[in-house]
Structure 1
């Protein structure tokens, strides 16, 4: 043997090949099953994504068609006929149904408010939809219990809440209804300085302060 090192390398490679073959015979089926599960799981996830996207598109198209009705009565009927496929779609439909029920000729604010309050009590409803339903119900007259309305608005007006500026405006409205103009002005002044409030809302708050005989500037 003129090259011992070459011989050793060949033997080592042969031993490695034999071990690999033995491992493949022993664990090959398991590895194959793992690969099948991974590939199958990826395919299932892609199918679910495609299915969800298709459902969302169909739902959106149905809503666009429904909201394009000739008059409010036609829109009410069309919205009521849309079939939701997911929980969030059910919530969106309930909000639209309540809005359509409140608007236009033949509107029924009391029925719309009742639907919104019922939606807000739905178990498992996403917080965003619950907040919208509660806020819209308050704007339509509330629950009929001043203390409960105040508690709802207090929650909606917490720092970081998505509809905090609108909730503060409703708190001011409630204060004015109770004859507490000082509290109303204080709340409205806070709105004029709230960076999260829209320009329209800040302007509306300032105009309301002036209408109450006060100055938007506390100084």
Structure 2
């Protein structure tokens, strides 16, 4: 490389530096703001997480204290005085309130809390289905068979979290409706399911035997 070329390269590099310094001098504040935003955002997320954890801890402590009473009415009143700040906390609170109210004999109020939890679209399906299932259980003597059947059928759809338990309730409704054969068929389907628990399988088997049915359908005669 000649001295001339070397000189030109040095001048070019110097010009680049001058331009860079001018740009930084003019727009360098943008980088500073970006750093502040990044650091501030991280600090805010950490603060919000700490606040959320503190709120959840406080809610849990209040629930435990409310449940400490041996009196159902006192538990219900103590739980009713608690306020949850998140959708998840509110759903758990409503489930606990409903349980205390049911134990205290206030079924209508318990059903109201459970239905409120079941209609919370922000919560996962399993929590909404649990609330609906419990509400239907409390209305066994007051809700018409047709209405209970419709709602349990919605819970018994394939893939639903409480499908087998809902099928068991539908079998009991079949018995209540005088359809023993339909109940036996449902209970056999429950027993055959790969997802059935041992307790549910035992209950289904006992009901089939009590109805005079066989645990397995009779084999078709050979032609």
TM-score when normalising by structure 2: 0.84
Pair 141,70 (structure 1): closer, same or farther in 2 beyond 3 Å: closer
- Please list the CA deviations of residues 10-31 of structure 1 after superposition, one character each: whole Å capped at 9, or x if unmatched: 3333122112112212321223
Deviations 1:126-178 (A, max 9, x none): 34333122111111225724333222112111111111111111111111111
Within the alignment, does 1:92 sit opposite 2:92 as a pair?
A: yes
Residue of structure 1 equivalent to 2:221: none
Q: Which moved more, 1:35-44 or 1:198-207?
A: 35-44
Shift of 1:115: 3.6
Alignment of 1:1-16 (within 5 A): 3-4=3-4, 6-16=6-16
Rounded to whole Å, the distance in 1 between the matches of 2:168 and 2:20 is: 73
TM-score, scaled relative to structure 1: 0.85
The answer to whether the 8 A contact 1:69-1:78 is kept is no
Question: Residue 131 of structure 2 corresponds to which residue in structure 1?
Answer: 133
Alignment check: 8 A CA contact 1:101 1:112 kept: yes
Cα deviation, residue 114, structure 1 = 4.1
Report what 1:190 is aligned to: 189
Once residues 100 and 196 of structure 2 are traced to their aligned partners in structure 1, the CA distance between those partners, rounded to angstroms, is: 26
Moved more, 203-212 or 137-146: 137-146
Q: Which runs of 4+ in 1 moved over 6 A?
A: none
Q: Deviations over 1:60-108 (max 9, x none)?
A: 22222222323434433332232212222222111111111222xx423
CA contact (8 A) 1:210 1:216 kept: yes
